[in-house]
Amino acid sequence: MAENLCGGLPPDICEQLSKEEQFIKIKVEKRRYGKEVTIIEGLGGNDSELKKIASELKSKLAAGGTVKDGKILIQGDHKEKVREILIKMGYAESNILVIE
């Protein structure tokens, strides 16, 4: 399926192009009992890809989290750290918006 979208480009180049086109929003919400949750929206891909990204974020941040409704939820306020990690993972810095 990915080959059709990329018109025969090598998979690694195709993956880089798709990462650069994504517009990612990072925000923090307060939940029950004053707990904060970092929400990452706009990452394309299916659930298994999102779970892989979530797993990497959780291990680097030493925090729990989950994938729900196409969003990644990480326990705690990690918006700046998440932004830095996503940039290192190859996502375009200009396409990552941190909502205060």
pLDDT digits over 48-92, tens only? 889 999 999 999 999 999 999 989 999 999 999 999 999 998 888
Domains and CATH numbers, the chain: 23-96 (3.30.780.10)
Q: Rounded to the nearest 10 degrees, what angle do helices 79-88 and 47-61 cross at?
A: 120
Structure tokens at 69: 């409704």
How far apart, in Å, are the Cα atoms of 35 and each of 2, 38, 41? 39, 10, 19
E strands, the chain, are 24-30, 36-41, 65-68, 71-75, 96-99
Q: pTM for the complete prediction?
A: 0.80
**Res 22: pLDDT:** 77
Question: Are 77 and 40 a contacting pair, CB within 8 Å?
Answer: no
